[in-house]
Amino acid sequence: MKPVIFGVSGLELTAEERDFFRDADPLGYILFKRNCGDRAQMKALTDSLRALSGRVDLPILIDQEGGRVARMQPPVWPAFPAGAAFDALYEKAPISAIEAARANGQALGLMLSEVGVTVDCAPLLDVRRPEVTDAIGDRALGGEPMRVAALGRAILDGLRRGGVVGVVKHMPGHGRALVDSHLELPRVKADAAALEVDIEPFARLADAPMGMTAHLVFEAWDQDRPATLSPIVVRDIIRGRIGFDGLLFTDDIDMKALSGTPGEKAMAALAAGCDVVLDCWARMEEMVEITGLLPDAGPECLDRLARAMATIADGPEAADIDALIAKRDALLALA
């Protein structure tokens, strides 16, 4: 098994993808809007990926945060609110906000489980700051670390109840980025003392089963390399100071913040200490290059993967998605 998550090009596997994935045996897959037609189509696609891998607990990822980051969209699926909605309610009624976030997470999990998706790249634990790029913006759960952690914990719990593993992101914090890492490399000049604010939510949720790195240079820790490619940040900050021992994904290595060929970036991320490379765009030439260079997943990676997927081994708890959404909406109306 190769320690990489690959994208899929369309609503079903092509013959070329089927043959390639069978031989490459990636650790899992990630779905985007291009893969989300309707319930029957998505279930058929995830079933085919699972059958091809021969693994019942195959990680099939999606970015379904709510708000502007939603691959499964109306009218087929319900819309979910962005993180800022729960932050606004927390301002007035913290306990109600936590309950709303948990109900929202469980409803999300049930929606994803229904179509065979097992991992959601949420919650976002980046601490929002007013003067930075809108790449985070209303996706954030707030600008106060304890609040972000409390709401993030509720979302993780809700997702697990819905039969889905959550991924905390973007470690060790994307909140200070002045530019969008999809387009260029952000550099954070804050000193180590100031950065304690950014890492606090991740430290409070260090027992999360899965996490994702940020493509940001933190000059206080490593002047030259973004976190994803920095052994110092991964070893000393994410694994050390934060104490995270879950499965660590890179953010998408195709983002313009990183330079080099796909294979070079993938190898550098593994050398830095990331467990799994995320390559999203289903470009066959890139996937072939990455697969040819990557070693097989090592025992630490496989152990972390098994522990993460074991958290949803019993499947979703029985619940009514419409009732959960109604509960969330009634609570959010209090704001």
Give the integer Cα–Cα distance in Å for 154 and 97: 9
Q: Catalytic residue numbers? A: 182, 251
Give the integer Cα–Cα distance in Å for 123 and 170: 9
On the CB side of 313, how many CA atoms lie within 13 Å of its CA?
A: 8
Q: What percentage of residues in the chain have a pLDDT greater than 70? A: 99
CA distances from 196 to 24, 129, 173, 242, 248 (A): 40, 14, 10, 10, 20
Q: How many residues does the chain have?
A: 335
pLDDT at 116 over 70: yes
Please identify which residue in the block is written with the tokens 């990676």.
301
Domains of the chain: 2-332 (3.20.20.300)
Q: What is the mean pLDDT of the chain?
A: 96
Question: pLDDT category, 161, cuts 50, 70, 90?
Answer: very high
| pLDDT tens digits, 75-113 | 999 999 999 999 999 999 999 999 999 999 999 999 999
pLDDT at 181 over 90: no
Question: So what's the pLDDT on residue 179?
Answer: 73
pLDDT at 178 over 90: no
| pLDDT tens digits, 134-150 | 778 899 999 999 999 99
Mean pLDDT for 144-159 is 98
DSSP string, 11-55: SS--HHHHHHHHHH-EEEEEE-GGG-S-HHHHHHHHHHHHHHHT-
Mean pLDDT for 201-230 is 96
Burial class (CB in 10 A: 0-12, 13-18, 19+), 72: buried
Question: So what's the pLDDT on residue 182?
Answer: 80
| 218 neighbors 195 (Cβ within 8 angstroms) | yes
> In this predicted model, which residue has the larger pLDDT, 129 or 298?
298
Q: What percentage of residues in the chain have a pLDDT greater than 90? A: 92
Question: pLDDT category, 132, cuts 50, 70, 90?
Answer: low
Element (H, E) at 325: helix 321-332
pLDDT at 205 over 90: yes
| pLDDT tens digits, 217-260 | 999 999 999 999 999 999 999 999 999 999 999 999 998 778 89
Question: So what's the pLDDT on residue 86?
Answer: 98
pLDDT at 279 over 80: yes
Question: So what's the pLDDT on residue 216?
Answer: 93
Give the integer Cα–Cα distance in Å for 59 and 79: 24
pLDDT at 74 over 70: yes
Question: So what's the pLDDT on residue 157?
Answer: 98
pTM of the predicted protein model:
0.96
Name the residue type at position 246.
Answer: G
DSSP-based three-state secondary structure for 248? strand
Burial class (CB in 10 A: 0-12, 13-18, 19+), 179: middle
pLDDT at 133 over 70: no
Residue 238: other Cβ atoms inside 10 A = 27
